[in-house]
Structure 1
Amino acid sequence: MKKIKQNGNAILKAGLGYTIGNYMIKGLTFFSIPIFARLLSPDNYGIYNTYIAYESILCMCVGFTLNTCQKNARYKYGKDYGEFVSSCMILLLVSAGTWLLLIKMFEGPLTTYTGFDYWIHNLLILHCLGSAILSIFNVYLSITYSYKGYLLAAGFNAVFNIGLSILLIKTVFSWHPAKGRIVGTVIPVLFLAVFICLYFWKEKRPPADRTTNFRYWRFALAYSVPLIPHGISQVLLNQFDRIMINSICGAAQAGIYSFAYNIYSIVGVTTASLENVWSPWFFEKAQIGEIGSIEKRATQYAVMVALFVSSIMLVSPELIVILGTSSYAGAEYCVIPILVGGFFAFLYTIPVQVQYYYGKTKLIALGTVVAAMINIVLNSIFIPMYGYVAAAYTTAVTYGLNFAFHAFISSRIGNVHYFKWSGLFLSGGLCVTVAAIAVTLVSYIEFRLGVLAVLLFCAFSYWKSVSRKADIQV
């Protein structure tokens, strides 16, 4: 009993550590939004975010989504898990080298298609390599609830990303601020990636023999490669709308839309922090058969996040005004549906753990690929008709469909029911209802604040109810 209680306290401590620490780190990034909104024109803002969209997509191919196999590898290899991670680093270096050769071979067509020159393409590949290494490192730390190491790395990245970008924009790249922002983003990631590789190779050297390396690589690739379409599709859901807006409406509109997405970062940092704890916790509880605990906590988790996201929706137009300039007028009409999509993106992470646990990675990929295709089709229809605002609504719809699909798949896997589905779907219904109210009252702050007061009272009452029923054990 004492051991269980200590484990529960460690999980709670890690959850609070991830969330509070990430808020401090994201606070730096959030504080920088008005700075970059003034340093970058909407055109430059759009160019930078288009680059980030390409990086997010290509990272899945360069990095093979190897971060997804780490939790299973830990249980599979036990004491040799550190050696497995070091071997994965070697595989990533081989992949990045191959991609750099391909970039050189197809330099001309790539420059024509993306609008970026050769050295930005090289930075893009190196950025992808660094991001892939960081992703593995973050999973490695989350497995052991080592939130301090995670926050140290993330804090370093945030501080130097912002500081170096501002310095480069004001000096070396004053002639092209978007390039200064890109270079300032890439350098800290590469520095961390080198440090992480050296750390792992010092702690646990990669296997000296090719046979063991190939055995590790076979497992990693067999598990992770089917998830590449899933990962790319997730990024398409999150990023490709900006590429389409840039192509159809122009870089300025892509910049305004991207600026609206910054409000979602308040939600994103919270759910990402909690997911770092939820995922390994789910694996632990599923392993020992504590299904009742999973079912109860999943519903509470979904409802509390729904109340939080709904609260942000009701004040999002004011956040747009505070953080932006008149150049970004119109972003307030995107932010509410973007937040709805963000909530369903979070909600999907609850049932999809079942598919990860049972290794059904092809099913994970199938659902997300279909959702991404629907999103692209809807965007191609509605963006030309209604402009960039349409992308926010189409993305919200496809994220909702993505959650529903994965919920259906997860409910059919195994003979165990891990979740109370009515609770998860009701939390989604709450979020959509509040969004409809917020959109209707977008010009009436006093009415939105009244709804917010009611919502906060409900959130407080629900929290007290949960606290009374909690028995401390997790």
Structure 2
Amino acid sequence: MIRDIKDKYIRMPIQVKASFWFLICSFLQKGISVISTPIFTRLFTTEEYGRYNVFNSFLSIVTIFVSLSLAGGVYTQGIIKYENNRLVYSSTMQGLSVCLVLMWIVVYVLFHDMWNRMFGLTTIQMMSMLLLIWTSSVFGFWAAEQQALFKYKALIVVTLVVSFLKPVVGIVFVMLADDKVTARILGLLLVELVIYTGLFFIQIKKGSKLFSKKYWMYALGFNLPLIPHYLSQTILNNADRIMIERMTGTSEAGLYSLAYSIALIMTLFNTSLMRTISPWIYRKIKENRVGDIASIVYPTLAAIAIVNLLLIAFAPEAVVIFAPIAYYDAVFVIPPVAMSVYFMYCYDLFAKFAFYYEKTNFIMTASVIGAVLNIIMNYVFINMYGYLAAGYTTLVCYILYSICHYFFMKKVCSRYCDGIEPYNLKKIVGITIIFLIAGSILFATYEYPFIRFCLIGLFFATIIFKKNMIVNMVKEFMILKNI
């Protein structure tokens, strides 16, 4: 049996192996982070832990302005768009990233007292933040290239080494230092500088070019209009926790944060699948074969629905594993947030067309609408129903966000794809309705464990009974993807 499994693995296409290992790697990375969190909460006082998380919040926001998120969609698309000159494109993106960080370092140094007061951080912490933005961008460029080329071995090694070293070095630094918050930040920076700097020089050496007016103008022209989009996404992901803390209290914010963090573990599936199929989708759009895309998308959409249903099904057990019984009420937030994760995948599928044809105004409009609506709905419904309402406002916002991107996709396809639409709306709506109904039924059984486990058992029995059909779907998926 082991030999059969080994033989099947050896015969697997590189794309399938890559998807599998990217997913495993992501879970191991997240697992190491989860394991280390209780250690740091015991090394920090509550005030120190709060200051460290404030630093991370600022880091997320400042990253958008300093890096312009160049290692995201514009880079992945550029690899396909300029695949004949990919090495030069990659090295010049690294060059642009360095230029942006150096520019912001100069701006910071000239007015450092003002920036320190504004953020409530020290000079060392602010400089560390800027350098962390650079190292994250370096890794983002390199990792995206590895994933697009299905070179999973090097990426796995680098990711796991960094994931292991960050908490280990951080623990040592924090135990030896008086300023534990700065020590934790410097521990992260040291690991990333040592490991990621090498990746920077690898891409620079291969491309042998730091500056290209053509590629710099393309990247800046593409991403500058997207700043409101990326900023809005950050608000959409963080505003609820901030507003809960201000409107209902720190304890409620902690409960919501736990549920949100558990639910967002499922985004690992989103990321793994999307990173695998994104280059393929862009290539199909480039070849004007958008009709081929749906056959790949429907199975992935169903897969995302299933993994999120499993989380909803086992949410009570997940909360018990992740936290003491005092946090149990967080379980009631998980279903709507898990459903939101499904719609995060949906909108990304629709937005691919606006990204490819550089219709950044569409992307920005949808993101701003989602963020503003989230803030307004949070303010109204948290006041009325408490912190639990934030989970549902998040779900509603992501549903509307997906709908906006769908209609913008229709506009783009009408203009650039000869009117051919890649997806059958009835099929997507059908998958979505089944997902929402199944998730709601599971949610309703939280107080009836016997019924819930019967439903779970029925689900797994169906999977076993339909095993051959599922295997055939996977085979068809690989064939259609030209694997």
Matched, 1:309 2:312: no
The Cα shift of 1:375 comes to 1.0
Query: Does the CA contact (< 8 Å) of 2:226 and 2:360 recur in 1?
Result: yes
* 1:242 matched residue in structure 2: 241
Query: Does the CA contact (< 8 Å) of 1:306 and 1:343 recur in 2?
Result: yes
The Cα shift of 1:301 comes to 0.9
The Cα shift of 1:96 comes to 1.5
The Cα shift of 1:152 comes to 2.2
Cα distance in structure 1, aligned partners of 2:61 and 2:387: 21
Provide the TM-score with structure 1 as the length reference.
0.87
What letter corresponds to residue 145 of structure 1 in structure 2? F
The Cα shift of 1:244 comes to 3.0
- Higher mean Cα deviation, 111-120 or 161-170? 111-120
Runs of 4+ in 1 over 6 A off after TM superposition: none
What letter corresponds to residue 53 of structure 1 in structure 2? S
Query: Does the CA contact (< 8 Å) of 1:53 and 1:240 recur in 2?
Result: no
* 1:197 matched residue in structure 2: 200
Structure 1 residues 252 and 106: alpha-carbon distance in aligned structure 2, compared to 1, 3 A threshold:
farther
* 2:353 matched residue in structure 1: 354
* 2:458 matched residue in structure 1: 454
* 1:279 matched residue in structure 2: 278
| Identity rate, percent | 24
Of 53, 56, 70, which residue of structure 2 is paired with 1:66?
70
- Higher mean Cα deviation, 359-368 or 298-307? 359-368
Structure 1 residues 25 and 225: alpha-carbon distance in aligned structure 2, compared to 1, 3 A threshold:
same
Cα distance in structure 2, aligned partners of 1:393 and 1:305: 19
1:340-393 deviation per Cα after TM superposition (whole angstroms, max 9, x unaligned): 222211222222222222222221121112111111222233334444333222
Matched, 1:169 2:168: no
* 1:426 matched residue in structure 2: 430
1:368-387 alignment runs, 5 A limit: 368-387=367-386
* 1:126 matched residue in structure 2: 131
The Cα shift of 1:47 comes to 4.1
1:174-193 alignment runs, 5 A limit: 176=180, 178-193=181-196
Query: Does the CA contact (< 8 Å) of 1:383 and 1:389 recur in 2?
Result: yes
1:319-398 alignment runs, 5 A limit: 319-326=318-325, 328-398=327-397
Aligned length: 463
Matched, 1:152 2:157: yes
1:257-293 deviation per Cα after TM superposition (whole angstroms, max 9, x unaligned): 3322331243122221111101012123333454444
Listed as ranges, the gaps of 5+ residues in structure 2 are: 1-9, 414-418
1:29-40 alignment runs, 5 A limit: 29-36=33-40, 38-39=42-43
What letter corresponds to residue 64 of structure 1 in structure 2? L
Structure 1 residues 105 and 92: alpha-carbon distance in aligned structure 2, compared to 1, 3 A threshold:
same
Give the superposed CA RMSD: 2.9
Query: Does the CA contact (< 8 Å) of 2:75 and 2:141 recur in 1?
Result: yes
Cα distance in structure 2, aligned partners of 1:47 and 1:249: 20
1:91-102 alignment runs, 5 A limit: 91-102=96-107
- Higher mean Cα deviation, 304-313 or 103-112? 103-112
What letter corresponds to residue 440 of structure 1 in structure 2? A
The Cα shift of 1:299 comes to 1.1
Matched, 1:141 2:146: yes
SS in 2 for 1:66: coil
Cα distance in structure 2, aligned partners of 1:98 and 1:92: 10
What letter corresponds to residue 318 of structure 2 in structure 1? L
Cα distance in structure 2, aligned partners of 1:126 and 1:56: 13
* 1:444 matched residue in structure 2: 448
The Cα shift of 1:28 comes to 2.2
* 1:3 matched residue in structure 2: none
- Higher mean Cα deviation, 130-139 or 302-311? 130-139
Provide the TM-score with structure 2 as the length reference.
0.86
Structure 1 residues 115 and 393: alpha-carbon distance in aligned structure 2, compared to 1, 3 A threshold:
farther
Cα distance in structure 2, aligned partners of 1:162 and 1:338: 28
Query: Does the CA contact (< 8 Å) of 1:311 and 1:455 recur in 2?
Result: no
Which fold has the larger relative contact order, with Cα–Cα distance below 8 Å and residues 6 or more apart in sequence?
Answer: 1
1:165-221 deviation per Cα after TM superposition (whole angstroms, max 9, x unaligned): 333333325x64x555444444333333322211122222225xxxx6333211111
What letter corresponds to residue 24 of structure 1 in structure 2? L
Structure 1 residues 80 and 460: alpha-carbon distance in aligned structure 2, compared to 1, 3 A threshold:
same
What letter corresponds to residue 448 of structure 1 in structure 2? R
Structure 1 residues 270 and 181: alpha-carbon distance in aligned structure 2, compared to 1, 3 A threshold:
farther
Query: Does the CA contact (< 8 Å) of 1:168 and 1:180 recur in 2?
Result: yes
SS in 2 for 1:412: helix
Structure 1 residues 386 and 189: alpha-carbon distance in aligned structure 2, compared to 1, 3 A threshold:
farther
* 2:4 matched residue in structure 1: none
Structure 1 residues 213 and 135: alpha-carbon distance in aligned structure 2, compared to 1, 3 A threshold:
same
Cα distance in structure 1, aligned partners of 2:390 and 2:50: 15
* 2:92 matched residue in structure 1: 87
Cα distance in structure 2, aligned partners of 1:78 and 1:429: 39
Listed as ranges, the gaps of 5+ residues in structure 1 are: 1-5
1:252-291 alignment runs, 5 A limit: 252-291=251-290
Cα distance in structure 2, aligned partners of 1:155 and 1:393: 35
Matched, 1:219 2:222: no
Cα distance in structure 1, aligned partners of 2:336 and 2:42: 25
What letter corresponds to residue 192 of structure 1 in structure 2? I
Cα distance in structure 2, aligned partners of 1:163 and 1:22: 18
What letter corresponds to residue 359 of structure 2 in structure 1? K
Cα distance in structure 2, aligned partners of 1:441 and 1:97: 55
Cα distance in structure 2, aligned partners of 1:48 and 1:141: 31
Cα distance in structure 1, aligned partners of 2:31 and 2:241: 24
Matched, 1:411 2:416: no
Structure 1 residues 230 and 218: alpha-carbon distance in aligned structure 2, compared to 1, 3 A threshold:
same
* 1:299 matched residue in structure 2: 298
- Higher mean Cα deviation, 25-34 or 149-158? 25-34
Cα distance in structure 1, aligned partners of 2:383 and 2:123: 31
Of 10, 14, 25, which residue of structure 1 is paired with 2:18?
14
Cα distance in structure 2, aligned partners of 1:26 and 1:55: 19
